[in-house]
Structure 1
Amino acid sequence: MQIETIKAYHVVQPFVDGPYRMSKGRVADCFDAVIVSITSDSGVTGWGEMAPLGNFYSAAFPAGTRAGVPEIAPHLIGQDPCGLASIGRLMDTVFKGHPYIKSALDMACWDLAARAAGVPLVTLLGGRESDTAELYKVVTHGTIDQMAALAKRIVEDGFRRLQVKVGGNVHDDVERVMAVAASVPKGTVIFCDANAGWTPYQARQFTDATRAIDYTFEQPCTTIDENMSVRRMLDKPMVLDESVTSLEAMLEIHRLGAADGLTLKISRLGGVTKTRLIRDVAVDLGFMITVEDTGGAEIDTSAMAHLSLSTPEERRLHAIAFHEWVTVRTASNAPPVTGSRMGIPAGPGLGIDVVPDLLGKPFFEVGR
């Protein structure tokens, strides 16, 4: 089997609930996605998606993806899409760095390979460990009253896991988190995520003032060493996200003992291939794992769901349903969400039926 054609689409995905706010005044009002289709000479098509959260969240930006895919895609024509490791090495050879550009292409090859084999993607990723994954919801940065009210509404909707955005003024964030914790039932799981917005000094101030609250601290500072300096005095679990950029970075986090858990972003790592590798090694090393991405609709969320459900349940933290964040549809079905849990669509590959007419005209196409 060989790759016959590759197409790329640009799809802007506005948020249902309006602007998404993080620390340091960072705001986005949509995911700006590139969606890729790869079709083999046998007529099987696989789909991939990459959607940065603005230009500020990750070392990725939408215009870079749109420019980079046409540079890489011609080199994949005639290659075996089922040779997933070989495809990855080839992309790294012809285009140095920029893993986020390769993510959608890699994802599409995994989808194609699983569809050609007639099995769901979760089977190729190691097998299904459970039927569904527990979802969390985000309490975005806002006023104390806004955040407390949003947290209360989320819990009333049946969710038990909250990611509370912090990383702003420390005193104000202490009050925000105290208000959120007071507004939800005891036992609600709370993650305080600073998105690398603080210095170690500020992070220590926050943790010292919130010792009475039960939460997991997520990515308070930028570098691994900075986060390790906070962890030394921390009496709570710590999860790192932005610091997990490669297998080497994950191994450094383990060597230092800098975290209890990791959030793996598919596009930050360069696709499903490298995410699966890092996930499997991290599980063996004892980390708790969340697999998600920087954004996207049905395609990317499906890949996240397959990776989540092939992660051992006792090592899985939670998941997120990004396709419910956006106002646009890209497929006729989606990962099924029941209450606060998400499964995977029935069918081979990602299990979703992408509708090309919903994507508009490709901005790039290459074939034999």
Structure 2
Amino acid sequence: MKMKGSSITTLAPLLLRELVTSLFISADQSLINLSERYKLVQILHRLLVHTFFFFLRLLPSFLSSVLITPSLSENSALNSSAALSKSKPQAFIPNKGAGGSSIARALSQLLSLMNEIPVSSRKYQVVRSLAEKLIDENLREDHESLKEVNRVALSAAFSETLLQLEAAMSKQERRRVSGDGGSVSGSWTGSGTGPGPFSYRMRRVLRGLRSFREGASFVFAGDGGDGGGSEEKWGVELLWLAQKMADCGCVEEAEWRWGTMSNLARLALIAEPRLQGSLVKFSAFLFKQVKGIRNETGDDQHRESTMNMLTTWLPLLCRASNGVDAPVLSSREREELERVLEETIEMLGQDEEKEEVLSLWLHHFTSCPSSDWPNLQACYTRWCDVSRKLLLLS
């Protein structure tokens, strides 16, 4: 918190100075044009310039006096909170877990910290190793109450990570949209042949506003981070959590939740290649798990969640980047996933469901010239043959 206060005191004057300077340049150009014709305006212009530079010199000291006071108050509040927490150590104990047991709270706390700590921190691997050790030891005990501890904690962590990933990707999309909307078109220039003086001044003002907004969000976020999270980090953690859920026998919940994330799937289509790679790997893992579950429990029990998985995430498999430095999936893994997808589609009970899935696949497969995977042509041909025979029989 001390770093945060000093960052505000140092950075805020610079950001505000750039914003005020941009606005002043816009107004100053108009006054220069008028001062060439009117003596009085020329005098006012000189007065305005001197006043402006005097204001810039006073700005840092003024903001320092304003910003330091809240920082001191904040430190006082922190000291009071620290003193209070010493008398209430239970405030640091998570209030989650199966049955409210200590081992459940410990696992929930480890998973929560793993979610928050940046992967670049040396503490991240320490926390992740502790969480993995605790999950594995609970499994080795082979007791139902400890299995339930694992299931509850992992399900809560999986849901939280999914929500954080979707929120972060939505925020990135809003930034892209606002960045595109901040550009000044040629219609502002007056001549239409290039950027005129008004367009230039408008860009300076908008750039100053964006710098102030982004810098302020950087400062008030604390020590320059996003709370230890990043889209790619959370994508990797989702796979780790789902693998642990499969070990604990609750991967069906991950399958169901993944199938309902239609907004996340839409955002994934325009995500960075590395994040797309993480989500492709995660989807491939879940599709393989779905096939195993369907073989064990029958065709009908998980049909709806299987349909959701297929219709939600097939577009990403068709359109995602295949990797720049190395392929996301090896050729063997791709062939295996193609077989899994074909078997999963053919296990769908109704012909209309197969038609919906295969039509969706064909649209995205043919719309993406840079990828020829997954190739479900054989599955599509078999479905056409069966549909033709059904029509003749009817």
Q: Which category of TM-score, normalised to the shorter sequence, fits these structures? A: under 0.3
Greater relative contact order, per chain length (Cα 8 Å cut-off, separation 6+): 1
> More strand by proportion, 1 or 2?
1
> More helix by proportion, 1 or 2?
2
TM-score, normalising length from structure 1?
0.20
Higher Cα radius of gyration? 2
